[in-house]
Amino acid sequence: MPELPDITVYIEALEARIFGKTLREVRRNSPFLLRTVEPPLDAAYGRPVVGLRRLGKRIAIGFDNDNWFVLHLMIAGRLHWRESGAKVGGKTILAAFDFETGSLVLTEAGTKKRAALHVVEGEDGLAGHDPGGVEVADCDAGAFGERLRRGNHTLKRALTDPRLFSGIGNAYSDEILHAAQLSPVKLTGSLTDEEIERLLFATLNTLDHWTAVLREEIGGGFPEKVTAFRDGMAAHGRFGKPCPICNTPIQRIRYASNETNYCPQCQNGGKVLADRSLSRLLKKDWPRTVDELEKLKPA
């Protein structure tokens, strides 16, 4: 699922292409994409874009009549920039948003069609799609620690809970925890003040680093290769490969559709976390699917 760095570069690329530009129409190729009926989709036709923002892992596009499109890409949704009138056909293309400057094409791999478009009105409408997580960049150590200690959850769960922190998902939480040298199953209630400061530093550095990497990767282009698995990652997607710090093979914890990658030496005192022995803990602490996690309501 695209996370904060990916969504940030998506929005920056869209600002350069559609801000101030008029939406002509939306051509849908899937009856499952649009999840709302009021305001109507065509209320934005002929209207210029006056705002773009990120709501957690969602992209919000605002028009001058105070209507907003809220796009949630979920796991397999991706955006592409094409010339005006790009064809809408094939199983993976969900819709084309036609602007005077070109067409924003939404695709989704697979058959589950989880990606969603909501049309809402005003700040109240947007608030209904904001899970409530804070921007870590706006937190000091005290505010960050207060969020972490609201419940006694595993660090992996706390970082990826959209009600606690905005925009962090499976991939970058692995990288953050590796950088902080903290176990993904360490409970937030047991964190020391020093560990909280270390985790905050790692979170800010990791998100800033990967946002800069993605910006450099696309230059002035459009991000066409958005993926959770990238060269240069320390832990995520690197099961069995050597840790870049200590050369210990990266290990993983699997539960339902979730997977966590970690270094046993750097993050857990040299001990491997066994899947089977953690199953009851994970069952209580983690939603079984990404869908369940994303549907959590603000606390």
CATH at 117:
3.20.190.10
Q: Which of 158, 164, 163, 161 is nearest to 180 (CA)?
A: 158
Q: Confirm whether 299 is domain-assigned.
A: no
Helices (H), the chain: 4-18, 122-127, 141-148, 155-160, 170-180, 193-218, 264-268, 275-285, 290-294
Q: Given this model, what pLDDT does residue 254 score?
A: 82
User: At which of 127, 156, 178 does a domain end?
Assistant: 127
- The rounded distance, in Å, linking the Cα atoms of 100 and 85 is 10
Low-confidence ranges of the chain (pLDDT < 70): 256-257, 274-299
- The rounded distance, in Å, linking the Cα atoms of 151 and 169 is 18
Q: Tokens 């590796």 appear where?
A: 178
Assess whether 141 and 179 both reside in one domain: yes
Q: Say what the pTM is.
A: 0.92
| Residue 202, token pair as written in the block | 């790692």
Q: Given this model, what pLDDT does residue 134 score?
A: 97
- The rounded distance, in Å, linking the Cα atoms of 96 and 226 is 18
Q: Given this model, what pLDDT does residue 294 score?
A: 65
C-alpha distances in Å from residue 39, one per residue of 23, 45, 106, 244: 16, 12, 21, 51
Assess whether 160 and 23 both reside in one domain: no
Total domain count for the chain? 2
State the residue range of the domain holding 82: 4-127
User: At which of 70, 97, 127 does a domain end?
Assistant: 127
Q: Given this model, what pLDDT does residue 111 score?
A: 81
